[in-house]
Structure 1
Amino acid sequence: MSTLFYRYLHTISSPPSKSSIITYLTESLGFPKSRAVLFVNRFSSTETNPQSVIHYLKSHGFKNTDIQKWVTESPQILFSDVEKTLKSRIQFFSRFRSRWFRFGNENLIRTLSRCNWVDIKQPATRVYANIKYLEQCGIVGAQLATVIARQPRLLIMGESELKDLVSKVLDMGFTIDSRMLVHALYTVSCLSDQTFKRKSELFQSYGFTKVEFLCMFRKAPGLLRVSESKLKSGIDFFLNTVKLEKQVLLRRPTCLMLSLDERVIPRYKVLNILMSKKVLKKMPRFLSVMWLPEDEFLVKSI
């Protein structure tokens, strides 16, 4: 064989250069060059080949958008060993998915892309230990499947970290037998301590005590997944425009999770128009109107 042929074989079998990896990430996955350079300088080695990783992921149903999101959150995945690391992890989570939760490939992709599990040496041991602990907390069946689909990071947390998270939620007044516990875990796991504190202070700025704030959180754990700007706008609108008593929001904190622009404000305006035209004899209970299905609200407003 010619020297040129041997040179060709060496070229296609040897790991790509850093510059070629950067070009590949920018042209194939659409990453800005600055980010591609950051990934390569931080995680690549002389034996890594992101092309083989991406090819393997695509062969298992991952789309470019899935891979881009995954790499953004866990860039080291690009530089993992397909045979030693990636293959075994995806096979494990595929078996885990079909055995425990039977959710589709799309949810598997989302779960994997949101789990920084590449560096975990024994994922099966960690995952099953955490599931056992969550079940001991009363989170079983559909609730367990839901929280893992929403926050798969719970699967790979260290034992002490997961126990600290549960303890933090229990200290807020939730109980093991409460169906709200799983929703509280999800919410608290999504928030930093600083964010939780800022939202508590936001409610206190409108006259709610810390005890009342936690009471509202226990009634509606999803409340604190609402952005601070939306919470501020909602509290301000209900208290200062609608003139609701603070106790009303304390009893029905879920109203702060409704869309102001799409539901609350339009319906408030409709009711005021109907009152001004004396179509209504008296203003109905506003919060009751807020929870009517759209078609029922339209029928009652005509």
Structure 2
Amino acid sequence: MLSRKVLIFAPKPSLLRFVSSFSSLAKTPQTPNPIIQDYLLKHFSFNEKQALAVSSRYAHLKSLEKPHSVVRFLKAAGLSDSEIQSTARSVPQILFSSVDKVIKPKVEFFQGLGISGPCLGKLIVLNPLVLVASLENKLVPCVAILRRILINDRNCEDLFKILCRCNQIVCRDPNSLLLPNIAFFESCGIVGSQLAMLLRRHPMLFVKEESFLKSIVSKTLSFGFTVESRMFVHGLVSAGTMSDDKVEEKVQVFKSFGISKEECCQMFVVAPSLMRTSERKLRLAIDFFLNTVKFEREELVRRAVLLIYSLEERVIPRYMVTEVIKSKRLLKKEPKFSSLVLLTDEEFEQKYIFRFKDNVEELLTAYRAHLLTSSSDEGKDLV
């Protein structure tokens, strides 16, 4: 028997149609099945309205044999009580499906891909539609298409993440959106590793209507990206996740520092993720580079990628080290800060801290003091 403890779970919009299909029955006289209704209320924390709608749909059932068999099978497959409860509340029909004909083939299919145990539980909770979608007409062909796109995904790790993030991508006829959208992206020059990257970064784009995709491409081009550039796909990811209003808010932040709309677009092309960076982080980063590091505006435009790095964890600690180096005159030529920020942690430490044996302690203090301060002040994290 399932425990009374439940996992708080908000169904994704695409799942709501399953619940609403049951709830719509409330508009007509309903004859609840008291056995089913009581079971859903006590063991799955359905509310009264949902339990009434679902039990009415299965008024013909005389026992709990079918839902009990589904629960037993899912537990044997490694799902926890809370995962089963969440799944049932999202897609109630799962409880009344045949284990042998509906549930088991899907579970064995994913286990065959290497998705089992805790991973299988996570997948089903986040994407319960996989248990009711057609195996032959949807799951198998869609997964085959995705695996052809994903490069070097031998353990299906990328596939697993995509299925968890996008509950529609394998639960629809591949000819409806998936294949046409792939063809559309390829017509834009997004092929091979770039198509795989787009799928990993933004799988929802593969199940959007063509009109939406065309608008995203148009927006990306308007920022100065070109379809011939390898950065085009990165711009597409950013444009696809941000509304026009949100992008305009970022543009206004740049303008407040005297950076023109044209220069702003140049910066987006160099560092597309700036479109997704919070306004607060952008404002603080721009202010630091222009007013503390004393960058010229033109240099910051050229080096826009510097703005994506964490001020607290990377930029400020390295700046503090350079200030000590300059004050001690440890180098004949002052290091170029833009190049210094791009170094890996190991490269930076070896080149600008540990090489100065007589000053290591002071340099480490400058380097780590700000890190310690920021890590103890989570509420002010800039990342």
Superposition TM-score, scaled by structure 1 size: 0.77
**Which of these residues, 242, 266, 276, is aligned with residue 317 of structure 2?**
266
For 1:170-249, list aligned pairs within 5 A: 170-249=221-300
2:177 partner SS: helix
Pairwise CA distance, 1:58: 6.2
Q: Within the alignment, does 1:44 sit opposite 2:103 as a pair?
A: no
Q: Report the structure number with the largest CA radius of gyration.
A: 2
* Distance verdict in 2 for CA 1:243–1:99, change over 3 Å: closer
SS at match of 2:166: coil
**Structure 1 unaligned regions, length at least 5:** 1-8
Deviating beyond 6 angstroms after TM superposition, the runs of 4 or more aligned structure 1 residues are none
Q: Distance in 2 between matches of 1:218 and 1:50?
A: 52
Distance change (3 Å), C-alpha of 1:243 and 1:85: same
CA offset at residue 227 of structure 1? Answer: 3.2
Equivalent residues, number: 280
Cα gap change, 1:217 to 1:69, in 2 (>3 Å) = farther
Q: Indicate the percent of aligned positions where both proteins have the same amino acid.
A: 36
Distance verdict in 2 for CA 1:65–1:258, change over 3 Å: same
User: Is 1:91 the equivalent of 2:140?
Assistant: yes
1:277 to 308, 328, 331: 328
* 1:66–1:109 contact (8 Å) kept in structure 2: no
Is 2:204 aligned against 1:153?
Answer: yes
Asked if the contact 1:29–1:68 (Cα under 8 Å) also holds between the matched residues in 2, the reply is no
- 1:278-297 counterparts in 2 under 5 A? 278-281=329-332, 283-297=334-348
Q: TM-score, normalised by structure 2?
A: 0.62
Q: Partner letter of residue 259 of structure 2?
A: F
One-letter identity of the residue aligned with 2:111? S
For the residue of structure 1 that corresponds to 2:330, the secondary structure is coil
Q: Distance in 1 between matches of 2:200 and 2:250?
A: 25
Per the alignment, do residues 300 and 45 of structure 1 end up closer, same or farther by CA in structure 2, a change over 3 Å counting?
A: closer
User: Residues 170 and 298 of structure 1: is their aligned pair in 2 closer, same or farther, counting only changes over 3 Å?
Assistant: same
User: 1:268 Cα deviation (Å)?
Assistant: 0.8
Structure 2 CA distance for partners of 1:278 and 1:161, relative to 1, 3 Å: same
Equivalence for 1:14:
66
State the partner residue of 1:109: 160
Change in 2 beyond 3 A, CA 1:98/1:289: closer
Q: In the TM superposition, what is the alpha-carbon distance from 1:181 to its structure 2 partner?
A: 1.0
How far, CA to CA, are the matches of 2:110 and 2:147 in structure 1?
20
Alignment deviations for residues 79-133 of structure 1 (CA, whole Å, 9 cap, x no partner) = x52xx53564331233213433342311111122222317964223422211111
Point out the more displaced range, 48-57 or 229-238: 48-57
When the two chains are superposed, the root-mean-square deviation of aligned CA atoms in Å is: 3.5
* 8 Å contact kept, 1:184–1:221: yes
- The alpha-carbon deviation at position 172 of structure 1 amounts to 2.1
Check conservation: 2:177, 2:207, Cα contact below 8 A: yes
